[in-house]
Structures are given as C-alpha cells and as structure tokens.
C-alpha cells in the first residue's frame, strides 16, 4: 500500500487529473488531500464531484481548507457571499455551479460539512491544511479555525535556526509531537520554488496551483513527487487567482 498527499487544487480539475495519472494508482493506495479544492480556476464544482466519485474507488481522506469553509458557507446559504471570498476565487466557484441541481449542491454541502480539520496516521504523521499553534499538539488547539488559517507554523520554520539539536530545550515544541507534518495553504511559489519545500519534519506541498504554479502529489514514504503542468497553460483563457 502506498500513501500519497496532494496539495491545494483550487478548481484546477485538468491539473488534478494529470497528477493522478502520473501516480498510477493501484488497489490499496491511499490519497490524502490537503484542502482548498475550490476557488481559482473554472472547475471547482467539477473538482468536488470528481473527488466524491474518486472516493468510491480509492481510500481518500479529504482535509478542510479555508476556501472550502467559505464555499460551504455559500452552499448553506447562497446569500452568504463573503466579499473577500468573492474576489479571491469565490466568483469562479459560484459560476462553476451553474447547471448543478439543488440536490447536487446539497450533496456537495454534505461533503464539505464532513471534512476533518486534520488527519493523524498510524505512523504519527500529521496532515492538515495550514498549521496549529498549541505547543501541546493539535488535540490541545483552542482555536480549531487555525487548522485551516494558521501561517505561524510555516513562518517559524522559515526563520528558525536549523542547527538547534532536536533534544534541545530551544527546539520548537510544535515539531516534537509528530514524525512528520504535511501542510498546504502557503504556496511555495511565494519563495520562488515550484517544488515542495521540506524544513525539518514539515513538508509544504502547496506549489501555487491557485496562481501560476502546479498541483503536486507526493509519496509520503519515498518522497517522490509528481506535478501537473502550470495551471495557466491548462486554462489559457482564465486568470485563476492572479
């Protein structure tokens, strides 16, 4: 059995299919999706339908991202259009639902409502969209919305002194609880990197699909990763979130 983690998708169904084809999935494989399935490119509703269908064939875990929360709110109450969400991909998501019946929208709402905020596997590897702040680990986090909003975990890693021994009292406590941590949310392309970035035990696999980057899938055991084409080349007549 192989386990893959797939980074932020943002409505890029064509890119997602490219990555899945490269993974050459087999019976028994598990796929952990890191959230932000919608908002950006024109196929957000189609991505959700595709993922729901995929979960009937493979063992899939779908983690909730911040954009998924905003889409969920809109599906629950169509008049609830967060202005910030609308200009950061929400408009394209709303348009992608044209032609979907009310019953289909209810199924998608149910999908969003049942998304976990994090996943901890049997090997003590943590998967979540953004981060957490509790020094005692995710189970002690007092503000669950930080699982899909926090950037402090990643920003800490960017500036930390990596020469600090792991058994030092100065080594970050948040990193001491888990064998590995996988996140999305903050594109690696923000740092001029088109591939996943690994710092200490943390892997950031959001490679900028919402903007001008790619979707990435990574084998969490071998660390081999597979990427789509850049999203603007697959949707040449669209802007995404650029």
pLDDT digits (tens, 9 = 90+) for 101-125: 999 999 999 999 999 999 999 999 9
How many C-beta atoms surround the C-beta of residue 98 within 10 A? Answer: 7
Instruction: Give the pLDDT score at 193.
Output: 98
Q: Classify 3-234 by CATH class.
A: alpha beta
Give the whole-angstrom CA distance, residue 79 versus residue 75: 9
Name the pLDDT band for 16 (thresholds 50, 70, 90): very high
Give the whole-angstrom CA distance, residue 17 versus residue 12: 9
**Residue 214 near residue 9, CB atoms below 8 Å:** no
Provide the residue ranges of all domains of the chain, joining segments of one domain with +.
Answer: 3-234
Q: Nearest CA to 213 among 3, 15, 6, 4? A: 15
Q: To the nearest whole number, what is the mean pLDDT of the chain?
A: 97
Instruction: Give the pLDDT score at 181.
Output: 98
Place of tokens 């080349």: 233
Q: Nearest CA to 71 among 52, 49, 92? A: 92
pTM (predicted TM-score): 0.97
Give the whole-angstrom CA distance, residue 96 versus residue 112: 16
Instruction: Give the pLDDT score at 82.
Output: 86
Does residue 57 carry a pLDDT above 90?
A: yes
213-233 confidence digits (pLDDT tens): 999 999 999 999 999 999 999
Q: Nearest CA to 53 among 8, 96, 104? A: 104
């Amino acid at each position: 059995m192989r386990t893959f983690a797939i980074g932020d998708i943002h409505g890029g169904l064509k890119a997602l299919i490219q990555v899945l084809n490269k993974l050459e999935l087999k019976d028994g494989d598990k796929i952990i999706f890191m959230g932000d399935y919608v908002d950006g490119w024109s196929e957000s509703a189609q991505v959700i339908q595709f993922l729901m269908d995929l979960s009937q064939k493979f063992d899939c875990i779908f983690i909730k991202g911040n954009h998924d929360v905003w889409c969920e709110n809109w599906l629950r109450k169509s008049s609830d259009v967060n202005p910030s969400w609308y200009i950061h991909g929400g408009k394209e998501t709303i348009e992608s639902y044209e032609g979907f019946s009310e019953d289909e929208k209810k199924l998608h709402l149910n999908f969003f409502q049942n998304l976990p905020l994090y996943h901890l596997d049997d090997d003590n590897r943590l998967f979540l969209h953004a981060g957490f702040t509790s020094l005692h680990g995710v189970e002690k986090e007092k503000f669950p919305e930080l699982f899909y909003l926090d950037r402090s975990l990643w920003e800490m890693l960017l500036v930390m002194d990596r020469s600090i021994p792991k058994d030092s009292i100065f080594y970050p406590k948040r990193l001491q609880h888990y064998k590995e941590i996988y996140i999305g949310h903050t594109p690696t392309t923000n740092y001029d990197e088109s591939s996943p970035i690994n710092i200490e035990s943390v892997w950031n696999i959001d490679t900028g699909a919402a903007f001008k980057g790619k979707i990435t899938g990574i084998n969490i055991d071998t660390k081999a990763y597979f990427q789509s084409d850049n999203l603007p080349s697959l949707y040449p007549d669209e802007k995404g979130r650029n």
